[in-house]
Amino acid sequence: MNVKTVHAYFEILDDTLLGYRVPAWKKSAGRRMIETEKFYLFDVGVTNYLSRRRPAPGTPEFGLSFEQYILMELKTWQAYRNPELEIRHWRSASGLEVDFILGDMRLALEVKSSSRISYQHLKGLRIIRDECAVKKTVLVSTETLPRTVDGIEILPWRIFIDNLWAGAYEL
């Protein structure tokens, strides 16, 4: 199958709201960026079924499902509250990554399914905060208590979603 055909299939999924593209953030001073977009289907369960994933907590598959779940919540919030809001991702050629960038660097959001966030989990958020004018950095996790490390908010996913819908972030 050629590239144009595959691209056309993704267009159909995107146009029918069966899938969502998350374009790459392309502006970066002094760092080579990966400009490939990410693609997510409309439903975590459908994605898991089609990819034959069994996302048990603590597995990489669970992490992928958790990231998609948070994106689906962001897309729902976007549809209801701010349809013009851009959702992008940031990935450098050296492997640094931030899952979602909301607006023009208003919120950098990393999603980790870990219940014990370490300093290493914050690396992408620290780098993007230092290189770009990010207004707020948040790591969403399965930890049970909110805390702040190195100026980065680490939030349990339920608190993040409550904050999002309560308008806690200037998006």
Beta strands 152-156 and 136-141 are: parallel
pLDDT at 118: 92
* pLDDT (tens place) for every residue of the chain, 171 residues total: 788 887 887 888 888 888 889 988 877 666 677 778 899 888 888 888 888 888 888 888 998 999 999 999 999 999 999 999 999 999 887 888 999 999 999 999 999 999 999 999 999 999 999 888 899 999 999 999 999 999 999 999 999 999 999 999 988
Q: Is residue 26 part of a domain?
A: yes
**Structural domain boundaries, residue 42:** 3-166
Closest CA to 119 of 87, 147, 157: 147
pLDDT at 133: 85
pLDDT at 24: 87
6-13: long-range pairs with CB below 8 Å, 24+: 10/39, 13/39, 13/41
Per the structure, how many domains does the chain have?
A: 1
Q: Is residue 31 part of a domain?
A: yes
Terminal alpha carbon distance of the chain: 40
The angle that helices 44-51 and 60-81 make with each other, rounded to 10 degrees, is: 150
Q: Is residue 89 part of a domain?
A: yes
- Token readout for 6 is 């595959």
pLDDT at 29: 61
pLDDT at 30: 66
CATH number for the domain harbouring residue 95 = 3.40.1350
Q: Is residue 171 part of a domain?
A: no
CA distance linking residue 105 with residue 127, whole number of Å: 13
Task: Give the ranges where 90-168 is alpha helix by DSSP (H).
Answer: 123-131, 157-166
Residues 90, 14, 125, CA angle at the centre, nearest 5°? 15
pLDDT at 31: 67
Q: Is residue 79 part of a domain?
A: yes
Report field, pTM of the whole predicted structure over 0.75: yes
Q: Hey, how many other C-beta atoms are within 10 angstroms of the C-beta on 91?
A: 18
